[in-house]
Amino acid sequence: MKTINSDAFNVCTGLTRVHISDLEAWCGIDFGTTRSNPLFYAHHLYLNGEKVTDLEIPSTMETVKSYAFIGCGMASLTIPATVRTIGTYAFNYCDNLTEIVAKGEPAEVKFRTFTDAHFSGAKLHVREQYAEAYHAATYWKQFTNIIADVVDKLDPAFPDVNHDGAVDVGDVNTVLDDILATGGTTLTLDVNGDGVVDVGDVNTILERILALSNP
């Protein structure tokens, strides 16, 4: 299915679930209007039988079509760096959405992609090198809680804190250099999430290096 016509599910207020088996295909459906998407009423999305509470857009996607997740009840959203365009109302009426992780540069978003409640209440996590761009980008800049996270714990490369594409001794040195130079004040290097930058973060990186070397 590639297209659902305007108002196809209008006044279908008894809907409570939407079951899908292919998230990539769902992202690519052309929905005609808000009520073309059954999620507008159902709210609860199930992927292969599992309820979606933490939605991660597939990294194969460059576009999320308009109305794709309107009304969806997920609590968090992860947008991969591959996504360049997000259509109108794609995440509107997602009242439970409080956490957004954007892994790449700001995607082009359309009118009402997000709601005013998202702008004021949701946390938007971005990579440090893109933070300035998000603060300047149309619509994205309306988020009042943009958090620059050098370390993205949802990324398979975690904790590549020096962004050289590998988790290795270079990341250990980055943390040690910060501890020696500033006493550990660069909290974006707090890879174990305990609120301080210290030897605990070094150990976390070393454990990850060992895990990667012994899959």
Verify that 142 and 173 share a domain, yes or no: no
What CATH number does residue 195 fall under?
1.10.1330
What CATH number does residue 38 fall under?
3.80.10.10
pLDDT at 12: 97
Verify that 180 and 122 share a domain, yes or no: no
Q: Could you tell me if residue 79 is inside a domain?
A: yes
The mean per-residue pLDDT over the stretch 81-90 comes to 94
Q: Could you tell me if residue 159 is inside a domain?
A: no
For 125, the token pair is: 């996590």
Verify that 136 and 61 share a domain, yes or no: yes
Task: Give the model's confidence band at 162: pLDDT under 50 very low, under 70 low, under 90 confident, else very high.
Answer: confident
Cα-Cα end-to-end distance for the chain: 39
pLDDT at 96: 96
How many angstroms separate the CA atoms of 166 and 194, rounded?
A: 23
Verify that 117 and 38 share a domain, yes or no: yes
- The DSSP string of the chain is --EE-TTTTTT-TT---EEES-HHHHHT-EE-SGGGSTHHHH--EEETTEE-SEEE--TT-SEE-TTTTTT---SEEEE-TT--EE-TTTTTT-TT--EEEE-SSPPEE-TTSS-HHHHHH-EEEE-GGGHHHHHHSTTGGG-S-EEE-SS-TTSTT-S-TT-SSS-SHHHHHHHHHHHHHHSS--GGG-TT-SSS-SHHHHHHHHHHHHHHH--
Verify that 97 and 184 share a domain, yes or no: no
Verify that 112 and 141 share a domain, yes or no: yes
Verify that 35 and 113 share a domain, yes or no: yes
pLDDT at 45: 98
pLDDT at 18: 98
Q: Where in the sequence is the domain holding 206, given as residue range(s)?
A: 169-213
Q: Could you tell me if residue 13 is inside a domain?
A: yes
Residues linked to residue 78 through DSSP beta bridges, in sequence order: 56, 101
Verify that 31 and 109 share a domain, yes or no: yes
- Give 29-54 pLDDT, tens digit per residue: 999 999 999 999 999 999 999 999 99
**Does residue 130 contact residue 101 with C-beta atoms inside 8 Å?**
no
Verify that 126 and 182 share a domain, yes or no: no
Q: Which of 93, 119, 148 is the C-terminal boundary of a domain? A: 148
pTM over 0.85? The answer is no
Q: Could you tell me if residue 162 is inside a domain?
A: no
Over 60: is that where the pLDDT of 150 sits? no
Task: Give the model's confidence band at 157: pLDDT under 50 very low, under 70 low, under 90 confident, else very high.
Answer: low
Over 60: is that where the pLDDT of 56 sits? yes
Please give the mean pLDDT across all residues of the chain: 90
Tally of structural domains, the chain: 2
Size (the chain), residues: 215
Verify that 58 and 138 share a domain, yes or no: yes
Nearest 5°: CA angle at 157, between 151 and 159? 40
- Is the preceding omega at residue 58 within 30 degrees of 0, hence cis? no
Verify that 144 and 176 share a domain, yes or no: no
Helices 199-213 and 169-182: crossing angle in degrees, nearest 10, is 180
Over 80: is that where the pLDDT of 119 sits? yes
Verify that 18 and 121 share a domain, yes or no: yes
Q: Could you tell me if residue 58 is inside a domain?
A: yes
